[in-house]
Chains A and B, each alone.
Chain A
Amino acid sequence: MADPRPPQAAPEEITGKLHDLLATLWSRSRVTIGERLDILRTTHRVLRANPGDKNARRAGADAAHKLAGILGTFGLPDGTNLARQVEVMLESAAPISPFDLEALQRAIDQLHLMIEAKSKDAGKRRA
């Protein structure tokens, strides 16, 4: 079903216009993205106290899934990869270990930095 031909690039004028529109859209989506990151922070906090909390894992996996779907679309492919790793960890049947919790905290911190940097870039583009 997949088409082997590479997707064609858009003309430069359209590319610039789309990037401007995406920068504006980012400023609106930033709030939702921040809320999803907050859910991951809550998941981390709850799992640190109770590693067996399935609801926290489910909520965290959903938030990570949504972050994985949107961050790359806004030009943050590394954010998508990180979020996908978090989603896989939280969806796994294996119990959460202290090592997993450290990895989750690192991922949250890195995602936070990426999102902040992107917000600064988008702000410059709109200015």
Chain B
Amino acid sequence: MTRRILIIDDEEDIRQVAGLSLETVAGWEVVLANSGKQGMERAEQEHPDAILLDVMMPAMDGPTTFLQLQKNPKTAKIPVILLTAKVQGSDQRRFAELGVAGILFKPFDPLTLSTQVSQTLGWTQIH
């Protein structure tokens, strides 16, 4: 069964590279959203197997989006991986305490992003 991943990021180039990477390397189906609000709608409509969620976004940032996803029974069980360019330890601890499935860092390697996602979520098969 093909995995379906929702990528929520306000930066188009990040969405495009991550999407291209997951589709090309892992053969996953990718759904894109350019804001927390749009991401919440897509999560409810598309029922992705996991969500890659940018931390720094205008209007609704990643942690707020995650908490909203958790409040909705239709999206609460979808594992969420935060994607961040913040490398400070204090930021990482704060994100981990939210209860996300994992944290991946920008810049990511497009060749190994799907493997990193799989490993973070404990998926044994990439495809």
Contact = CB atoms under 8 A, between A and B. Distances in A.
Interface of A: 1-3, 5, 7-10, 14-15, 17-18, 21-22, 25, 28-29, 32-33, 65-66, 68-74, 77, 80, 84
Contact of B106 (A2, A8, A33, A68): A68
B116 A69 contact: no
Contacts, number: 86
B24 A18 contact: yes
A29 B21 contact: no
B85 A29 contact: no
Contact of B25 (A18, A28, A74, A84): A18
B112 A5 contact: no
Interface of B: 11-14, 16-17, 20-21, 24-25, 56, 85, 87, 96, 102-103, 106-112, 115-116, 119-120
A20 to B, nearest CB: 10
Most buried by A among B11, B17, B21, B85: B85
A69 B14 contact: yes
B14 A70 contact: yes
Contact of B11 (A69, A74, A84): A69
Nearest to B95: A1
A5 B108 CA distance: 16
